[in-house]
Chain A
Amino acid sequence: MRTIRVVIAKPGLDGHDRGAKVIARALRDAGMEVIYTGLRQTPEMIVAAALQEDADVIGLSILSGAHMHICPKVMSLLKEKGLDHVKVVVGGIIPDVDRPKLQAMGIAGIFLPGSPMQNIVDFITEQVPPRAEVV
């Protein structure tokens, strides 16, 4: 079985990368393959990275309030590129009212400040179906 591959991305203009870096490291320590895109990624760049890296999961770190613009774009681009199987999780400051809307557009998981790392690791492990190693 192959290792779960996760792209961790910071979309938008915000540079607060503490959460993205901590979660990237926690997922790596949990045995996943983690690709961190760095800052100021457009939805197009993020989806391209997921395609190129054959990612199972995209983790978006958004603290700035731009999630209702960024998430739909990422989701529709994934569909366009035939990457429907890629699970998208969002971490950051997400108001209650936006959560059902994000879930409705297909965001698999939403993690707020204070979420234990282990919950995120467990969630991703459960969400990604085992895939055979492609040789």
Chain B
Amino acid sequence: MKPAATDTPADTATAKWERDVLEPALRKSPERPGPFTTISGRPIDRLYTAEDVRDFEVTRDAPAPGEFPYTRGIHPTGYRGKLWTMRQFAGFGTPEETNGRYKQLLGAGGTGLSVAFDLPTLMGRDPDHPLSLGEVGKCGVSVMSLADMERLFDGITLADITTSMTINSPAPMIFAMYLVVAEQQGADWKTLSGTIQNDILKEFIAQKEYIFPPRPSMRLITDIFEFCAKDVPKWNTISVSGYHIREAGATALQELAFTLRDGIEYVQWGIDAGLDVDDFVPRISFFFNAHSDFFEEIAKYRAARKIWATVMRDRFGAKDERSLKLRFHSQTAGVSLTAQQPYNNVVRTALQALSAVLGGTNSLHTNSLDEALALPTAEAATLALRTQQVIAHESGVTNVVDPLGGSYFIERLTLDMEEGVYKYFDAIDRMGGMVAAVEAGFPQREIAESSYRFQQSVERKDKIIVGVNGYVDADEPPFPILYIDDQTSDMQLIRLAELKRTRDNARVATTLDALKGAARGAGNTMYPLLDCVRAYATVGEMCDALREVWGEYEEVPSI
């Protein structure tokens, strides 16, 4: 909110401008009817001046980059030192098909891999489960067991790249598979780097790919914190994600507030599990949505860094600078892509990507123009990567750190974003933390409300979406897409049967029993999981073993 004016309106330069310049102009040509709001519905004033940021103090709110609280960036040199990582999310069909796409992306100058798994893998179901019908290899790559992970990274040296894996409920199983492949390649776990998403809270809140109830799910995560601190110290153990929260309909503020509060929850659980804050917090990273409202997004990223640094220092007493510095990946907003006039999506994505860059993103995925229609074709995926390269090398924005710092408008938005986030923190703290808030359905309801409000504003045409509710083409030509057929499913079903015939099934049973034992007790589940993986137990079998111990979570459906 704006600070209370101490001067009388007549004294201020703005008041004078309004009287002498603005009002005559408005009389001649009035403004459009508006509403002038961000995509999140936040009202925006006509003009921001020094009078709007009287409560802004440079040394406290936005000192130089690399200085606490890092509002202007965590690196003193911004992108002059190193560009962001251009990490394109990809996966479809069989592990071999995806392996081919990875080699293409790395060959085109991509600097990291990012694995998209299919829904059966994400939900811990083997392809022969009834709910896997029609889903195998459709939204991502099918990975049933270590054998598939070996195929996925065939010919790619894991020691030389960083890999991000979007996996949540079965994160420990998939991570264990990756580690065993690295081990087979002779890589040292101590130097291995990459990220697992491993963020279960946003699954309950938004994406709904949960398996186990919240509390045992949180325990799996603290097991990974502990395991990685000892065995894989350079691995990013969690990517606390606002992306899906935003896609589900949250406002920018809600995305930021719920995501940072999720982060706080993980830190608290880690500490409660006996870990030292500076032993695991440096490996926590974040993942935000790069949505369409340009300045609101930039303010969101800047506020994110400031809040995290402050909370880690003041709430948890973190001392290691790495615990205070919020690092984040961003992805352009899938939900903003339209099936209508797909080429418009290239422009949307470029603007969204630019906002993430101006907000100091550490890595970025740009969506492909065809993603409201299907998984991207190779051509569309390349164009998306080229979009980032154009921003990086041609626009000039990478020459300077935080170019919008000090803008009246941006600093006002950043301060307001921060204030709104702390209000949500208070509300969630009063509920007993994020797990309790999720169990009570609080963030879920807030998001559903915002999502419906936005839809109504589109229906009323308060918000115009080009090609959808304005500038519509009645007759659109057909558009070429990637069509995933059922061959993957057939192939994976054959492979699954063969795997179960050829592996040492007695060893599988023993390792699964050991996993159940660990789950019932307090031991770290990662070690028995690694044994299951080495025995070629499937994702479905490992998850079933834990379902037996912990049960499955079911959401109460509500509109």
Give the B-binding residues of A (Cβ under 8 A): 12-18, 21-22, 24-26, 28, 34, 36-40, 42, 64-70, 93, 95-97, 112-114, 116-118
List chain B positions with a Cβ less than 8 A from chain A: 119-120, 122-123, 125, 130-135, 138-139, 203, 207-210, 247-249, 335, 337-340, 372-374, 448, 451-452, 455, 458-459, 465, 467-469, 478-479, 481, 483-484, 555-559
CB distance B339 to A112 under 8 Å? yes
Max chain B CB contacts within 10 Å: which of A13, A18, A21, A28? A13
Distance A21 CA – B453 CA, assembled complex (angstroms)? 12
Extra contacts, 4 of them, besides A13-B122, A114-B468 (Cβ < 8 A), are A12-B119, A12-B134, A16-B247, A113-B338
Identify B125's interface contact among A13, A65, A67, CB under 8 A.
Answer: A13
With a cutoff of 8 Å between Cβ atoms, the chain A residues found around residue B249 in the complex are 18, 22
The answer to whether B483 touches A95, judged by C-beta atoms less than 8 angstroms apart, is yes
Which residue of A18, A22, A113 is within 8 Å of B247 (Cβ)? A18
Cβ distance B127 to chain A, nearest Cβ, rounded Å: 11
Select B123's contact among A13, A36, A38, A118, beta carbons within 8 Å.
Answer: A13
Cβ-neighbour of A22 out of B203, B452, B557 (below 8 A): B452
Give the Cβ gap from A81 to chain B, nearest Cβ, in Å: 19
The answer to whether B451 touches A18, judged by C-beta atoms less than 8 angstroms apart, is yes
Closest A residue, CB atoms, query B485: A68
Residues of B with C-beta under 8 A to A14: 119, 135, 139
Chain A hits for B131, CB < 8 A: 12-13, 40, 42
Q: List 27 A-B contacts (CB under 8 A).
A: A12-B119, A13-B123, A14-B119, A15-B203, A16-B208, A16-B247, A18-B247, A21-B451, A21-B452, A25-B559, A38-B555, A38-B557, A39-B557, A40-B131, A65-B139, A65-B374, A66-B133, A66-B138, A69-B134, A70-B134, A93-B373, A93-B374, A96-B478, A112-B339, A113-B339, A114-B468, A117-B459
A67: chain B residues within 8 A (beta carbon)? 134
Which residues on A sit within 8 Å (CB–CB) of B125? 13
In the assembled complex, which residues on chain A have CB atoms less than 8 Å from the CB atom of B120? 13
Given contacts A39-B557, A95-B373, contact A70 B133 (CB under 8 A): yes
**B481: which A residues are within 8 A, CB to CB?**
95-96
Contact in complex: A21, B559 (CB < 8 Å) = yes
List of B residues within 8 angstroms of A16 by Cβ = 207-208, 247-248
The count of A-to-B residue pairs whose CB atoms sit within 8 angstroms is 110
User: Cβ of B139 and Cβ of A34 under 8 Å apart?
Assistant: no
Q: Are B133 and A69 in contact (CB under 8 A)?
A: yes
Q: How far is the CB of B77 from chain A (nearest CB, A)?
A: 39
A93 touches B135 (CB 8 A): no
Contact at A64–B452, with CB atoms within 8 Å? no
Chain B residue numbers with a CB within 8 Å of A22 are: 249, 451-452, 455
Which B residues are CB-close (under 8 A) to A34? 559
- In the complex the two chains form, is A15's CB within 8 Å of B134's CB? no
A67-B559 Cα distance, complex, nearest whole Å: 23
Complex CA gap A22/B450 in Å reads 10
Give B552's nearest chain A residue, CB to CB. A40
Known: A13-B123, A26-B455. Is A66-B135 also a contact (CB below 8 A)? yes
Chain B residues whose C-beta falls within 8 Å of the C-beta of A24 in the assembled complex? 559
Smallest beta-carbon distance B368→chain A, Å:
14
Residues in chain B near residue A97, CB distance under 8 A? 483
- Bound CA span A95–B337, Å: 15
Shortest C-beta distance, A43 to chain B (Å), equals 9
Q: Which partner residue on chain A sits nearest B449 by CB separation?
A: A25
- Contact A64 to B339, CB < 8 A, known contacts A13-B120, A18-B451: no
B94 CB, min distance to chain A CBs, angstroms: 15
- Determine the residue in chain A with the shortest Cβ distance to B467: A114
